[in-house]
Structure 1
Amino acid sequence: MTRDAFEALERLAGGLGTALLALLTLAFWVLVGAACVVGVGLLMLPAMLALTRALAERERARLNRWGLEVVSPYPVGEAPVGWTARLRAARADPATFRDLSWLAVHGTLGLVLGLVAVILPMITLREATFPLWWRFLPPDMWVTSFGVPVTTWPAMLAVAVGAVIIQVIAVLLGPRMARWQARSGVRLLGPHPSIDLSQRVARLTATRAGALRAHAAELRRIERSLHDGAQNRLVAVVVMVAAARRALARDPALVDLALDRAQGAAEQALSELRGVVRGLLPPILEDRGLAGALNALAAGSQVPCGLAVGELGQLPLSVETTAYFTVAEALTNVGRHSGARRAQVTLSRDRDLLRVVVTDDGKGGADDGSAGTGLAGIRRRVEAHDGVVTLSSPQGGPTRIEVELPCGS
């Protein structure tokens, strides 16, 4: 909860910065609009459009850093040349009016939310500590931050307790306030819904193709495991049982040896079949649930591993399986390549989104394009569920793999 509160405060403070710029840009638009009445402001319209676009691009970049995918709607290419051509292009582009609408919303509602998030902790600190030093002030300064006079100890203690309660409520509402502040950018700064739909279809086509490739690769792996392992063992069992039957007629003393070898081969075949089945759906998921299965993975990790699992609720089996194999592959990668001394696995759920985070304090430099790391396999498996993988692994570490999986029913 503490981490979510600080993250929400950071997001709201960042949004406060762009909200102040949006309000200032709105003021400039009012001045330019007034100047257009006498004709002078018309010359400033292209510059104002460029300023608005630059501010909107800055907000898109900020939202993308927080994992809210907002694609720029502006086409890549040469900009129109000339005052008339630039104004006509801006008028024909629906993104221009969407950017202006975002300026109005973010410069008002976003500004209020950011100010509340930033100023309220300072007010709370003053009010909560006021009983410690209010007696040292002149009587005319015995007032709260809102100008309410306070002259008695009970009133002062009530103000302090009330300030703390209000701050606790604000901390609990912080993540929701951050989402409210970002909502206008997510809705208005992205492409027009028709364009966004075509991009969504293209992305789904790519992820489904990746899922089919991953499925075909998994079938080939299962076929190789059965053909090279269990099938050969079972053929050996048949041969050894036939040899035992022939030995029973010729030399009964050799029967026990042949049966022992057949039993050993059968046990190996059974073990390999169990391994193939575990590769499809680990039985521990059904027996102990996702939290118990991950606890077993953490306990068996080559590197000491901590595990933190929040309230996950009921998850689809396919999501649990993907999360399990993601953690298993990530911890295997940590043990083989990272040189880490400790790893940490964290699972949390935010409504219809399951977040899996695996971190280690190793040497870093992980790349999901490198052969043998298994990270590319994680990405294919996650993207097949419309999930997102974020990898951060600078040289020298630490390495952080964050997976977000939709888990709505």
Structure 2
Amino acid sequence: MAVPSVGRRETVLRAVSAALAAMRQLTGGLGTALLAFFLLGAIALNAVACLVGAGLLTAPVVLRALHALAGRERERLGRWGGEVVAPDPPPTGLRPALADPVTRRELRWLARHGTLGLLLGLLGVLLPLCAVRDTTFPLWWRLGPGDATTTSVGIGTAHSWPDALAAALLGVGWVAILLGLGPGLARTQAGPGRRLLAAGPDVDLSLRVAELTATRAAALDAHATELRRIERSLHDGAQNRLVSVTVLLGAARRMAGRDPAGADELLERAQSAAEQALAELRGVARGILPPVLADRGLAGALSGLAADCAVPCRVEAEVPGRCAASVEATAYFVVAEALTNIAKHSGARRASVTVRGGGGRLRVLVEDDGRGGADEGGGSGLTGIRRRVAAHDGSLRLASPPGGPTTLEVDLPCGT
């Protein structure tokens, strides 16, 4: 089956966006790679000077420069992905520092980043320049000198339009390389830093314990909030209706003998109140675990939410198998709360919900073209969404700049 044009356009836009992000990451890594290259030379000179004793005086300065550059690289990598947790501060003495595993890992990172990282950073700068230069060559080749090389790699000279068009084809090849290999080059440049500059497994374990403790607290808080919501719904809704039914039935029983018409009217009101109480009880039950999830699955349940949304909403769901019921319920409530916010606050003309499942994860993306400016502290329900997601050890990312668009991305483990 042919892929719709909208899907192809979105695929191309995602590829271009990923390539541009990769080029920015490679270019940013070029700065630290240049510093790493010069610091490698300084360390080599200092090591030679240490043989005659003079280098012992400058070695602490070189080590401090190494730790500072490693810290700068951790900050840079944190801006482009997951946080690189810094280890404990290394010892200050020369001998303890050289025996410290953190310093040794930083030296290994320095050697790799100052060589391979520098080469990849240069590619991140040169490849876009070559792509622009060769792709646009037919537009200006007649304005240059006659003996100018045709391509950015210095091969051939342009004497005719076919030569110029051949250079443009090479430029298209550079663009294809950027789109296909750019993200991989960025990951290769960042890989040594993420492996060697992160804290050791003992620190990771303590951080994981702290994270799980916070997650458990969020789960308990979300559970308590849900219980309060259910209690409030029952108390303010169904319970009041049932009390009204009891009062009306008692009044009707007393009036049955002397005023049958009035008793019938009270019985009709009691029946109406009982029907309303049943409707509210069904609403509370659906709020606990929507039965539509069991009947139609997550994709069908989300399609129902989109159909009821006041803003035109498109749903695209690719979930090969079923997730845990609690995970599906969380995804359902996330989308329901997000669409409610869009309808009430965003002023959007359209919205979209994308759900992808695979690799043991469930990813939910809700987007709208509204005015943006969504804030968790604004009472829009985003805090509740975050607590629900945290209870499953998931992650939530919100991007809502003023003027829009707004993107809410949730990543959940599928569970068993």
**2:116 aligned partner, one-letter code:** L
Question: Which position in structure 2 is the counterpart of 1:37?
Answer: 51
**1:387 aligned partner, one-letter code:** G
**1:300 aligned partner, one-letter code:** A
Question: Which position in structure 1 is the counterpart of 2:215?
Answer: 207
Compared with structure 1, are the counterparts of its residues 311 and 69 closer, same or farther at alpha carbon in structure 2 (3 Å cutoff)?
farther
Compared with structure 1, are the counterparts of its residues 46 and 159 closer, same or farther at alpha carbon in structure 2 (3 Å cutoff)?
same
**Inter-partner Cα distance in structure 2 for 1:177 and 1:202:** 34
1:126-141 aligned within 5 A: 126-141=133-148
**1:405 aligned partner, one-letter code:** D
Question: Which position in structure 2 is the counterpart of 1:223?
Answer: 231
Provide, for residues 221-262 of structure 1, a one-character-per-residue CA deviation record: whole Å limited to 9, x for no partner: 213322442234235435545665666566543443133112
**Inter-partner Cα distance in structure 1 for 2:26 and 2:412:** 25
CA contact (8 A) 2:362 2:413 kept: yes
Q: TM-score, normalised by structure 2?
A: 0.78
CA contact (8 A) 2:310 2:343 kept: no
Provide, for residues 54-85 of structure 1, a one-character-per-residue CA deviation record: whole Å limited to 9, x for no partner: 1111111112223411111124xxx86xxxx5
Question: Which position in structure 1 is the counterpart of 2:103?
Answer: 96
Question: Which position in structure 2 is the counterpart of 1:262?
Answer: 270
The answer as to 2:179 corresponding to 1:157 is no
The answer as to 2:368 corresponding to 1:354 is no
1:289-308 aligned within 5 A: 289=300, 292=303, 295-296=306-307, 299-300=309-310
Provide, for residues 341-367 of structure 1, a one-character-per-residue CA deviation record: whole Å limited to 9, x for no partner: 559867666975736466864677x46
CA contact (8 A) 1:134 1:142 kept: no
The answer as to 2:82 corresponding to 1:68 is yes
The unaligned stretches of length 5 or more in structure 2 are 1-13
Compared with structure 1, are the counterparts of its residues 353 and 283 closer, same or farther at alpha carbon in structure 2 (3 Å cutoff)?
closer
Question: Which position in structure 2 is the counterpart of 1:116?
Answer: 123
Q: Which moved more, 1:103-112 or 1:239-248?
A: 239-248
Provide, for residues 133-155 of structure 1, a one-character-per-residue CA deviation record: whole Å limited to 9, x for no partner: 33444443234222221455445
CA contact (8 A) 1:358 1:402 kept: yes
Provide, for residues 371-402 of structure 1, a one-character-per-residue CA deviation record: whole Å limited to 9, x for no partner: x45343233222222233456789x8879675
**Inter-partner Cα distance in structure 2 for 1:13 and 1:3:** 15
**Inter-partner Cα distance in structure 2 for 1:68 and 1:367:** 22
1:167-206 aligned within 5 A: 167-206=175-214
CA contact (8 A) 2:302 2:332 kept: no
CA contact (8 A) 1:345 1:358 kept: yes
SS for the counterpart of 1:141 is coil
Compared with structure 1, are the counterparts of its residues 117 and 274 closer, same or farther at alpha carbon in structure 2 (3 Å cutoff)?
farther
The answer as to 2:23 corresponding to 1:9 is yes
The answer as to 2:245 corresponding to 1:237 is yes
Compared with structure 1, are the counterparts of its residues 181 and 195 closer, same or farther at alpha carbon in structure 2 (3 Å cutoff)?
same
**Inter-partner Cα distance in structure 2 for 1:7 and 1:283:** 42
The answer as to 2:154 corresponding to 1:147 is yes
SS for the counterpart of 1:405 is strand
Provide, for residues 94-116 of structure 1, a one-character-per-residue CA deviation record: whole Å limited to 9, x for no partner: 21111112112222232222222
CA contact (8 A) 1:5 1:175 kept: yes
**1:91 aligned partner, one-letter code:** L
The unaligned stretches of length 5 or more in structure 1 are none
SS for the counterpart of 2:86 is coil
**Inter-partner Cα distance in structure 1 for 2:352 and 2:31:** 31
> Which of 272, 282, 288 in structure 2 is aligned with 1:274?
282
Q: How far did 1:168 drift? A: 2.5
CA contact (8 A) 2:148 2:157 kept: no
* Count, aligned residues: 391
Q: How far did 1:43 drift? A: 1.8
Q: Which moved more, 1:162-171 or 1:57-66?
A: 162-171
Q: TM-score, normalised by structure 1?
A: 0.79
**Inter-partner Cα distance in structure 2 for 1:185 and 1:408:** 30
Provide, for residues 161-206 of structure 1, a one-character-per-residue CA deviation record: whole Å limited to 9, x for no partner: 1321331331243333323322222221111112112211221122
> Which of 377, 386, 399 in structure 1 is aligned with 2:384?
377
CA contact (8 A) 1:361 1:397 kept: yes
Provide, for residues 26-48 of structure 1, a one-character-per-residue CA deviation record: whole Å limited to 9, x for no partner: 12212222222222222221111
CA contact (8 A) 1:143 1:149 kept: yes
**1:132 aligned partner, one-letter code:** L
Percent sequence identity over aligned pairs: 52
